[in-house]
A and B are shown apart, each in its own frame.
Chain A
Amino acid sequence: MSPKKGKRSGSSKMKSKKSQSPTPQGKTGHPEDIFPLTLTSATQNLFGCQIDEDVTAQSPYKLLKKDDIMQDIKTRAAVSDFSPAKQIVLDYPEEEILLVFDSEFTFGQSFYLVLSPEAKNRILKLPETETPEVLENEVDTARKPKQWVSLGSEKEIEEESVKEREPLVFTFSRKRRFFGLPVSFSDNITPISQGFPSYEDNRRFIPAMLTDCGTQAVPKVQSSTAQTNWLGKRNNSTHYEPRDLSEEEKEVILQSDSMKEFLRGVTPRMLHALQQEEIFNLFTDDLKDLGADVEDDNEPDLSKGLELFKTFTDPSKGKKISSVNWHPSINGVIAVALKMQREEESDSEEDLSLTDPKFIAFYSFADLSKPQDLRKEQTPEVLYSAASEIESSHKAAVTDVQWLPPTFEVTRTGLPVENTSKLCVQVITCSPDCTIMFWDVRLPKQAGLSLFQRPDQNTPMTRYIVPKTFKHLDRTWKPLFKVSFQKMDGSGVYAPLKLSFEPYPGNAEAAGSWSAEDFLDYSQLRIPSAKELKTLEDVNTKIFIGTEEGEVVYTDWKLEKDEFGLVHCPKPLFSFSTHDFMVYAVQRSPFFKDIVLTVGTWNFAIWKEGVMEGPLHVSKFSVENCTAGCWSLTRPAVFFIGKDDGSMEVWDLLENTNGPSQVHPGIISGTIICIKPWIVSSKQHFLAVTNDHRVVRILEISKSLRTPTSNESSRMEEHFEWETKYVKEFDRRKKVWAKEKEEQELKKETKPAKPVLTPAEQEELDKKEYGEFLKLEESILKGLGLWPKPDHSDKKN
């Protein structure tokens, strides 16, 4: 910079010298290489060097071509401004001549030409050097550098910079003996062994409040062993089996004398003990044996027998009760069949009625007075829904109707066969028109289309909805077959009033599974042909019949074939006229299948099936008529007899066979028509008693009458067996007596008169006998070892 400055100052001096130098020379003359001239504006235009346009004070230089100037001179000859400089231009070696504007008129003219190229170069150089000079001057004047503010950097520089400093002085002393010896200095390169102490990082970390930390629990297990002295040896477990002797040893022992001795001593004792055990039970609890049931022994039995529970009366007049029956499933509901007062009797079971009772009313315990019309809701059908064909049905009133149990059914010839459908499909009816009819609810196979096509236009308008279950049978129902029984002595036909057959239990699953909901479409059932069904051999086809005239007939209903091959009704097996008038009830005992109770007008009888000789027991003739009877449901020895005057007798055969054990007079007014027992619960047993004046009375059976005594069933059985034996024996005796009588009568006629003994002869005879007796006595007593006898009176052995 500084040399440049120097140069610049030099050049500027030179320039000022130059500028000054021509001036003084201009006055006097101009330097050699400068030729001043004036240029007119036209020339200026031509050459492009107009003042203040192309050429200014700042840029006064203009290079003109020599040829152009020559040209101009030629064209304008004398007019051209360059004419004075013609020669100079011609002599000019270079192509271009420098024209300089001279604003200060330094050479007297506005322009001047630079004649020599050296001067040109010189001048041209000057402006080149002048311009940076000018610029620098301008820079110097335009921008002033700022004052340097110390920010501390010079300290760092000072620190970092390597300066020479005064030498370090280090004094040390040596041992005296080493004084003067040369010293050797060396560098000690010490390793940098300074540690880097840790310091707390003062950066703020987020403190961890929660850290997942895993733990494992490890049981402290320590295994160690020890050895002990086993002082007292003991078996922890032993395997053992009982000692046994071999067979030979056992034999030997058994035959040994000691065994014999042993048995000799032991046997009588043991036998004695065994016998004692067998005879007498040392530990009987008499009190316990007395009481039959444990539950309510403390209940005082106040009522003697029957107690009035409820009374139902039908308010409407003119009706008679014909039968009564308990509802099998609903507790406390009785169906009462009412009929108009007519002469003929009619009877009805609960489910189906064949003749025409008028109404069936239901009484329930809830409402005493009014009969309820429950049938619409609960029972499937009440009113008759099929009537049998008039021609083929009974001519007289039907007195007994019973369903055959669903376990077997009967074919056209009376053979019992298996019932494939598990329903009650057959009905037996009997009537005083001397026939027993079997009806089948199903249609016969050869029903044909005619039945279905028959229109039922004549269906009478009924006030009640008649269910269509048995519609298929309506008015075309014919009995399956009929039986009528000839009297044994050939004097007519029996007129049965009631019948009873043995219920055949059959298969366990068949019986008892019939419920009201199972009402199938009966119209679809058909009577199967007899061949298809399996004959049941063990069904008891014999029935007891109570007739109008008081006979009890025991007969078979199977139609028999006699020697001609014709089928006819069998002969009854026995018949007894025990009762003298109508038989009102024939009922089997619910406990014994072969014991039948028949109630006649003035007495009743108990029969056993198979005993042909007669009834087991006939009661005395009673004053009033017996009109109804039924067995008790819980006590095998008890039955109830209803009388004409409305009183009821309770008979207990084990207690008293001669008379009723209890008489309840005035149970009901009027004649007892029907007695039906029912068990509601184990504490409530009822007896429904109806009379003929539309009153139904429910009686509660007291505890004494409903709980059987101990072993009552077996005792009753024994009693019946005894009776049977007695009857048989009596019968046999009767025959024997009859025979004897005959013989005696015969003898009487043929035999001579027996000699009459005189008294003296008689006495002699007696003495003889007495003597014989004494001898006999003596011999006997001697044999017994009681001879000589002390006295006559102690002759008892």
Chain B
Amino acid sequence: MKVDVEGTLKRIESYKGVIGTIVVNAEGIPIRSTLDNSTTVQYAGLLRHLAAMARSSVRDIDPQNDLTVLRIHSKKYEIMVAPENNYLLIVIQNPCE
């Protein structure tokens, strides 16, 4: 399937309840973000390690397994981190109510 990068990202960014989206590369440098710079940098820096640790925990338990999405549900909103292919996609969403 042909993937339109721009379109895909736009789709995610304009989903209902999404506050912000960040794409981070392997070194933790944000490639693309809908939030302001300082927030982006903060999220990227903090979540990178967390995602790596989660992934390693999952693979420790079962080497065949892998992390698909790491979801952090907090009081105010939900943060979803999806690692893939050395990149990281971070989405922050406001839950239903």
Report A's interface with B, CB cutoff 8 A.
242-245, 250, 253-255, 258-267, 269-271, 273-274, 277-283
Contacts and interface: CB of A to CB of B under 8 A. Distances in A.
Nearest to A245: B29
Contacts of A278: 15-17, 93, 95-96
Interface of B: 1, 3, 5, 8-9, 11-12, 15-18, 23, 25, 27-32, 41, 45, 68-69, 71, 73, 78, 80, 82, 84-87, 89, 91, 93, 95-97
Nearest to A252: B31
A238 to B, nearest CB: 15
Contacts of A281: 95-97
B1 A270 contact: no
Nearest to A270: B82
12 contacts: A245-B25, A254-B31, A258-B85, A262-B87, A263-B5, A266-B82, A267-B11, A270-B82, A271-B15, A274-B15, A277-B17, A278-B95
Contacts of B73: 282-283
Contact of A274 (B25, B30, B93): B93
A273 B12 contact: no
Nearest to A258: B85
B95 A277 contact: yes
Contacts of A267: 8, 11-12
User: Interface SS of chain B: helix, strand, loop or mixed?
Assistant: mixed
B16 A263 contact: no
Contact of A242 (B11, B45, B68): B45
A250 B6 CA distance: 13
Contacts of B91: 270, 273-274
A269 to B, nearest CB: 5
A302 B93 CA distance: 46
Contact of B85 (A250, A261, A282): A261
Nearest to B41: A242
A274 B89 contact: no
A269 B85 contact: no
User: Interface SS of chain A: helix, strand, loop or mixed?
Assistant: helix
Contacts of A274: 12, 15-18, 80, 91, 93
A281 B86 CA distance: 31
A270 B85 contact: no
B68 A269 contact: yes
A253 B95 contact: no
B93 A253 contact: no
A271 B8 CA distance: 10
Contacts of A250: 31-32
A261 B73 CA distance: 27
B4 to A, nearest CB: 9
Nearest to B45: A242
Contacts of A243: 27-29
B47 to A, nearest CB: 14
Contacts of A269: 68-69, 82
A282 B85 CA distance: 30
A260 B82 contact: no
A279 B78 CA distance: 13
Contact of A264 (B3, B69, B97): B3
Contacts of A245: 25, 29, 31
A360 B91 CA distance: 70
Nearest to B89: A266
Contacts of B31: 245, 250, 253-254, 259
A266 B78 CA distance: 17
Contacts of A242: 29, 41, 45
A286 B4 CA distance: 42
Contacts of B18: 274
Given A273-B80, A278-B16, A254 B89 contact: no
A262 B85 contact: yes
A273 B25 CA distance: 21
Contacts of A265: 84-85
Contacts of B23: 259
A274 B73 CA distance: 12
A277 B84 contact: no
A270 B70 CA distance: 10
Contacts of A260: 3, 5
Given A274-B18, A277-B78, A254 B5 contact: yes
Contact of B69 (A253, A262, A263, A273): A273
A279 B15 contact: no
Contacts of A258: 85-87
B5 A255 contact: yes
Given A242-B29, A245-B25, A270-B89, 14 more contacts: A242-B45, A254-B5, A254-B32, A260-B5, A262-B86, A262-B89, A263-B5, A263-B89, A266-B84, A270-B91, A271-B12, A271-B15, A274-B91, A278-B93
A280 B80 contact: no
A461 to B, nearest CB: 70
B84 A273 contact: no
A259 B82 contact: no
Contacts of B93: 274, 277-278
Contacts of B11: 267, 271
A271 B12 CA distance: 7
B70 to A, nearest CB: 10
A244 B32 CA distance: 11
Nearest to B91: A270
Given A243-B29, A270-B69, A273-B80, A263 B8 contact: yes
Contact of B87 (A259, A271, A280): A259
Contacts of A262: 84-87, 89
Contacts of B5: 254-255, 259-260, 263
Given A263-B3, A271-B15, A277 B96 contact: yes
Contacts of B9: 263
Contacts of B71: 273
A549 to B, nearest CB: 51
A270 B80 contact: yes
Contacts of A259: 5, 23, 31, 87
Nearest to B82: A266
A262 B18 CA distance: 20
Nearest to A242: B41
A260 to B, nearest CB: 5
A106 B21 CA distance: 179
With most chain A CB atoms within 10 A of its CB, the pick from B85, B86, B91 is B85
Contacts of A277: 17, 78, 93, 95-96
Contacts of B28: 243
